[in-house]
Amino acid sequence: MKRVITYGTFDLLHYGHINLLKRAKSYGDYLIAAISTDEFNWNEKQKKCYFSYDQRKSLVESIRYVDLVIPEENWEQKISDVHKYHIDTFVIGDDWKGKFDFLKDEGVEVIYLERTPEISTTQIKKDLNKDK
Ligand code: C2G
């Protein structure tokens, strides 16, 4: 069984996220999605989410491509996660290209996938504010 992992905030879940998760799953048989906690988002990514961690978790858990959701609490956990969950492949969007190549030293295949153009949580918020 090939095991894949990916990390993200997944706020205001949209088709760009779904495209990523669908393609990530195609690299194996079991996909883990590590979702950034509210604290990690605020402290490390200065992101204030619309949906709480629990809400984002329940949304991502309902996606057919996702087999398990775990919390992402810090930048460092990726190295322990790939061993703890016996991961073969790490997948993330190419906005992170090169940032996680260190996982190759852990024997993990690292894949950066092209982001879905035009859509982003930030864009959704901007568009909704425009209509006010
Ligand atoms: N994504 C995408 N296309 C978009 C928007 C997002 O492919 N139009 C991908 C991102 O590249 C990422 C995943 O969907 O792989 C989740 O996106 P975000 O929620 O924005 O995740 P991010 O804040 O980049 O967190 O440790 C890694 C970080 O937690 C990644």
Q: Chain-centre distance of CA 80, in angstroms?
A: 17
Q: To test the ligand 1 pocket, which listed residue (14, 15, 20) has its Cβ within 8 A of the most ligand atoms? A: 20
- Mean pLDDT value across the chain: 97
Tokens, residue 127: 């568009």
Task: Please name the residue whose Cα sits nearest to atom 7 of ligand 1.
Answer: 115
Q: pLDDT at position 98, please?
A: 98
Q: How many CB atoms are located within 10 Å of the residue 60 CB?
A: 20
Quick one: pLDDT at residue 131? 73
Query: pLDDT by residue (tens digit) across 25-71?
Result: 999 999 999 999 999 999 999 989 999 999 999 999 999 999 999 99
Q: How far apart are CA 132 and CA 123, in angstroms?
A: 15
Residue with tokens 């879940």: 13
The reply to whether ligand 1 has any atom less than 6 angstroms from the CB of 20 is yes
Nearest to 71 by CA among 52, 53, 58: 53
Report helix, strand or coil for 50.
coil
Ligand 1 centre and the CA of 14: distance in Å? Answer: 11
